[in-house]
Amino acid sequence: MLREIMRTRIVDPGLLSRRLGISETRLRIILARLEEEGYIKGITLKKGESCRVCPLRAVCGGSCPTGTGSIVIYEVTRKGLEMLGEMESRE
């Protein structure tokens, strides 16, 4: 999950849960736990701010496709990067 967050930064819980083969509820619990433990940092961007970083901005005409007017992006923290490095060295 950390690799996927690092790759996309913008997390659509429905899409990510399907990619990982887990329920959206479980995904949200895992995201909260990763954030609580310091592996990721969630940032909520309001409408206008979110458009600047959204990969769909060229096709949506400026209206937020999530319907909420905001999106959440996650950054993998230093602690998360260290965890990824340890995992990759074991592979």
Which of 15-19, 25-29, 38-42, 84-88 is predicted with the least confidence, judged by mean pLDDT? 84-88
Q: What is the pLDDT of residues 29-87, one digit of tens each?
A: 999 999 999 999 988 776 665 566 666 566 555 555 555 566 677 889 999 999 988 77
Put simply, whether the predicted model's pTM sits higher than 0.85 gets the answer no
Residue-range domains of the chain with CATH: 2-90 (1.10.10)
Residues in contact with 1: Cβ distance below 8 Å, sequence separation at least 6, in sequence order:
16, 20, 27, 30, 31, 34
* Residue of 16, 18, 19, 73 whose CA lies nearest to 46: 73
Paired tokens of 50: 């979110």
